[in-house]
Amino acid sequence: MLQRILDQRYELEELIGGGGMADVYRAKDLLLNRPVAVKILHEQFKQDKEFIEKFQREAQAAARLSHPNIVNIYDVGVADGDHYIVMEYVPGRTLKDKIRQEGHLPVSEALRIAREIGEALAHAHANNLVHCDIKPHNILMMPDGHAKVADFGIARAVTESTMTYSGNVVGSVHYFSPEQAKGTMITPKSDVYSLGVVLYEMLTGKLPFTGETPVSIAVKHLQDEPVSVRQLDPSIPPVVEALVARAMSKDPALRPTSAEFVQEIQHAERMILTGGQPSVGMPADPDATQVLPRVQETRELPPRRMREQDDYEEEPHEEKSIFKSKKFIVGLLLVLLAGFFVGAFMSYGKFWSTAEVVVPDVTGKQMTLARQILEDKKLRVNVAETYNADVPAGQVVSQTPEGGTKVKEERLVTIYVSKGGEDVEMPDLTGMSKSDAEAQLKKMGLKLGSVYEKYSDEEAGTVIKQDPRAGSKISRGQSVDITVSKGKQTKKVSIPDVTGGSLSAAKSALQSRGLKVGNVTYESSRQAPGTVIRQSPASGEVEEGTSISLVVAQEAKTQVQKQDNKEPGKNTSQGENKVPVRQGETGKER
């Protein structure tokens, strides 16, 4: 149970819903003693003055609406820095919950709900208010089965989520109109398109367009035709199929107004009630699927008129050719002139007007809020998408012209909206050198982050670990950390002093320390042959496995041998006992 009372009047009781913009609480109006729903904006929107002003202005406008199929707005206020709207509390579930639980609705029930939504929209449109976010999530179902349209109060603010390109708001992109997908001006017929999508889903239990990303779904709204509802369910009457197709026309001019759509639904309900069906070749319903063929036939009329005129004008070939050439030149000049004026209007606004405005700086703002700010300045807006890992998805990265520029009214301003970082598959860097890994990351639009070192059995300088791991999804511009091998880890050992001992004793002493015997050289010495007289290194600490060079004493020539060499004929046998033993033996005499 929440213990909070807004403005000493609205006692919050339970959190019953929420989304990207606000949380909704069931509350009690202590003054009038009735249940109400209170919507409180999230913390991050408290400091955006432009957003708050528009939120309050449109909530107040919606409060003027009074219709049985619209959730009534009772109050708008601020308490402890929280901006809130108090509205009618509708017990029950949303239309989206109903579709999920029942799969699809009977045709008669789907038409009745669509008619009630259409009547609510017609009332709002008559009061110059466009909902902009019609979807089953915003349709509340009363316990008696009647529908109520919700979220009129922050309809424009909710579209800030509607066109966000993150996975959290994919639901809304399934319902918006082609003109919303393009970022162009929204009209009441945009609501009619969304209602057509809702009717499609009620009849079939499926969405007309799906995709892996919100952008791919938006493109389908612009380019693709949905699968016919009768193709998904042949039991749906043709007149209902025509209703859905007409409401979901790509061109707003081909869609009915909300009031006309209500009348068409009523007509379809009467036909179904009486069992009437359009006959083959003579459709009883004037809005059957012949709408598009008529458009195609209308486009073909000018060529037929030209052919009839050509047949009628029996002029000599030469004169006709000269006449056509002049006509072609004049026409070309007119087309070029018209193109100039159209281009000037599209790019620079009303060039015949002297009114100038300063382009607001909308970088960093959510896409729809930025668009509304620009439109309030009588500027037209074009929305383009761009990948940018440093700017959250849905926010404006840059704009053309830049903020602060003076332009004429109706100038086209292009805002570039971030789609976040472009996802790429993380490459496998293990086994590469540090420089090769860095080059590979740069090639894929990634950055080298922290570089760690670690002993391993791999060759020194080789990448042995990476974060994120290979094969995972990563956004362009993101940093990647790597760990590089330092080679095998070796320990330091002290060098023993092996001088004065035999060669075999020196080998044993070195090997016991994990050292090796390196080069062994011999030189004359007064020490006994076979004795280690020097070593290198002589002392200190070295890495395990280091080789130690040794110098060993060898047998030396005696003075007697030198004299024998000087006095030939002298009996040298007398000096045998004075000659040391051969090299390799001990220093003892025989």
Tell me the DSSP string of 91-159.
Answer: -SEEHHHHHHHHSS--HHHHHHHHHHHHHHHHHHHHTT-------GGGEEEPTTS-EEE---TTHHHHH
Write out the CATH class of domain 423-485: alpha beta
Topology of the domain covering 4-88: Phosphorylase Kinase; domain 1 (3.30.200)
pLDDT in tens, 275-318: 654 433 333 333 333 333 333 333 333 333 333 333 333 334 44
Q: Contact, 438 vs 448, CB < 8 A?
A: yes
Q: 139-141 and 93-94 as β-strands: parallel, antiparallel, unpaired?
A: antiparallel
Kindly report, as residue ranges, where domains of CATH 1.10.510.10 are found in the chain. 93-277+288-293
Supply the pLDDT for residue 247.
96
CATH of domain 93-277+288-293: 1.10.510.10
Kindly report, as residue ranges, where domains of CATH 3.30.200.20 are found in the chain. 4-88
Q: Contact, 446 vs 415, CB < 8 A?
A: no
Rg of the chain taking only CA atoms, in angstroms: 44
Q: Is the whole-model pTM more than 0.85?
A: no
Q: Which residues of the chain are modeled with pLDDT < 70?
A: 1-3, 19-20, 54, 58, 153-171, 275-354, 556-590
Kindly report, as residue ranges, where domains of CATH 3.30.10.20 are found in the chain. 356-418, 423-485, 492-554
β-sheet bridge partners, residue 282: 279
Q: At what angle do helices 95-102 and 188-204 cross, to 10 degrees?
A: 20
Q: Helix-strand-coil percent breakdown of the chain, rounded to 5?
A: 40, 25, 40
CA distances from 163 to 131, 134, 174, 576 (A): 14, 13, 11, 112
Q: Contact, 393 vs 161, CB < 8 A?
A: no
Supply the pLDDT for residue 339.
56
Q: What residue spans of 351-397 are helical by DSSP H?
A: 367-376
pLDDT in tens, 22-71: 788 999 999 999 999 998 888 777 777 777 776 777 677 778 888 999 99
Catalytic status, residue 436 = no
Supply the pLDDT for residue 586.
42
> For 279-433, where are the E strands, in sequence order?
356-358, 380-386, 396-400, 406-408, 412-418, 423-425
Q: Does domain 356-418 have CATH number 3.30.300.30?
A: no
Q: Which helix (H) or strand (E) holds 175?
A: none
Supply the pLDDT for residue 185.
72
CATH of domain 492-554: 3.30.10.20
Catalytic residue among 7, 80, 133, 144: 133
Of 213, 232, 215, 212, the C-alpha closest to 223 is 215
Supply the pLDDT for residue 557.
55
Q: Vertex 407, ends 406 and 413: CA angle to 5°?
A: 110
